[in-house]
């Protein structure tokens, strides 16, 4: 049993994107320095610190991180919704999903989400963070219940691929954070984002 009691959660690294905005495979980027783990390995290890099992969800290219189960997306080219749907079906239980492009995400923030999830209201299918000032839902840093699977299947059937809209608001359990607390949610999509991340790291 995991020390923090989160053994019933399967950690899922979402790594199925094409990195088209970055121009090259961002899972192999070493944001924290060449001697540090790349983004994919960093994210796997981060989830490993709060979950007893970690899988990598990606398209038809086997991830380079060794020692983790590879879950191939059932549908491709439609964003992360396919990865979450496939992972729920494989896990047959709740999953903690985390995008692989968040170099400042940390175990404390993930544990805060897990603790919040443990006190979710009955009927909750999606536990996540919400940005106080904007109302933005962090759908790529979330816990999805297995019971949400039919909603994912219906969304795909309907051609609706926006992850944050799959679960109705009344079945979401949202933990607020402020803009001053937003650094862990900084994601690296473009070369300019990568440059900014490296500048932040150099200044810390």
Q: Per the annotation, where are the binding residues?
A: 14-16, 26, 73, 101
Q: Which residues carry a binding-site annotation for Mg(2+)?
A: 101
Beta strands in the chain (DSSP E): 10-14, 53-58, 69-72, 95-99, 126-131, 137-144, 172-177
Q: Which residues carry a binding-site annotation for GTP?
A: 14-16, 26, 73, 101
CA separation for the pair 9, 19 (Å, rounded):
27
Taken in order 169, 160, 10, 94, the sign of the CA dihedral is positive
* SS3 (DSSP) at 24: coil
CA separation for the pair 177, 108 (Å, rounded):
14
CA separation for the pair 22, 192 (Å, rounded):
9
């Amino acid at each position: 049993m995991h020390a923090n009691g989160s053994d019933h959660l399967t950690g899922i690294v979402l790594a199925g994107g094409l990195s088209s905005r970055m121009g090259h495979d961002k899972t192999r980027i070493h944001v924290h320095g060449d001697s540090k783990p790349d983004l994919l390995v960093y994210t796997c290890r981060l989830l490993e610190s709060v979950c007893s099992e970690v899988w990598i969800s990606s398209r038809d290219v086997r991830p380079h991180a060794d020692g983790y189960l590879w879950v191939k997306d059932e549908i491709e080219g439609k964003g992360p919704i396919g990865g979450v749907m496939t992972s729920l079906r494989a896990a047959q239980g709740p999953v903690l999903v985390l995008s692989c492009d968040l170099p400042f995400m940390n175990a404390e923030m993930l544990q805060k989400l897990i603790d919040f999830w443990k006190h979710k209201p009955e009927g909750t299918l999606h536990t996540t963070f919400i940005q106080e000032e904007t109302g933005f839902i962090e759908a790529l840093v979330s816990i999805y219940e297995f019971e949400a699977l039919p909603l994912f299947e219906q969304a795909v059937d309907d051609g609706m691929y926006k992850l944050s809209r799959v679960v109705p608001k009344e079945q979401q359990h949202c933990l607020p954070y402020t803009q001053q607390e937003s650094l862990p949610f900084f994601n690296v999509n473009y070369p300019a984002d990568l440059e900014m991340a490296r500048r932040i790291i150099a200044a810390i």
